[in-house]
Amino acid sequence: MKKLLSIIGLSALLFTSCSKDKDAVTLQGEGKVTLTMDAVFGNQDFALNKDFKSSGITYNFNKFRYWLSNVVLVSATGQEVKISGSYYLMEETGEIKLTGVNNDLPTTIYPATKRENVVLKEIPAGNYKSIKFSVGIDQKYNDNMSLQSGELSQLNGMTNVSWMWLTSYIFTSAAGKVSDGTTTKNMLLETGLNANYKTIALDLPKSLNVSASESASIVVNADLSKVADGIDVMTNPVVGASKATVMAAVANNYATKVFTVKSVN
């Protein structure tokens, strides 16, 4: 009889662990929210191949890409609405020659792309006070690239299969040139270690009202002038896994400085 009780107890446990997942995901409802991640440099609009100055350094970018993941909207009452499968590749980039290119087939070129918008669907109608999202890929998916969710893919050059032999995703990548007026260097600031995965929670300046009839939107600024904040980019223009400490600093900038809410409608 004891065994029977323990079996029932165990199944009760299993039930709990099952339903737990579902608590966070409440996707019944009608509303849609457009989330715009607007790239800026300080108070200027961001653009590729354009000079931006900050603290005596001139930046000129040809690529800005990052994984936006695990988006959560928090209702006025504190209920969290998790957007399932929310793995989005946000980017503004020129043509990219993909790793493993060895011929002239057009598939080996990733085309120039600008992508700032994400549509969050099936959001329960109501009022929302804050948004949470992560930059990078959580460990479960980062450690196993055969698991699929959202836009996760090995085919877009945001995986890192030869970089230090850490087979995982590249979380953020900002590339171009930096100059201090006398020297110009190639810049590549990347993150991608599990420790670099950061979750950002931003309060909305006013309530986000989601309903079936009206469209709602959030605009978040992604400020590239903050990516290398506190980092001597002339000394460390290339940041990757062999520079874990500097990489951690870049990841912290994404976590604490790069993103701010611009507007809610």
The residues of the shown chain that bind other proteins, judged by CB under 8 A, are: 1, 3-4, 7-8, 10-11, 14-15, 17-18, 21, 98-103, 105, 107-108, 143-148, 154-155, 159, 161-162, 164-168, 241-242, 244
- Which of 112/244 has CB closer to other proteins? 244
What's the burial of 202, exposed, middle or buried (CB within 10 Å: 0-12/13-18/19+)? middle
- Which of 8/119 has CB closer to other proteins? 8
Closest approach, Cβ 110 to other proteins, in A, equals 10
Q: What is the dihedral of CA 247, 252, 253, 254, to 10 degrees?
A: 100
- Which of 104/203 has CB closer to other proteins? 104
Closest approach, Cβ 80 to other proteins, in A, equals 19
Closest approach, Cβ 228 to other proteins, in A, equals 20
Closest approach, Cβ 235 to other proteins, in A, equals 16
Residue 41: which of 49, 31, 30, 32 has the closest Cα?
Answer: 49
Q: What's the distance, CA 183 to chain centroid? A: 32
DSSP assigned state of 9: H
Between the CA of residue 102 and those of 44, 45, 108, 187, 208, what are the distances in Å? 39, 36, 8, 25, 49
- Which of 10/76 has CB closer to other proteins? 10
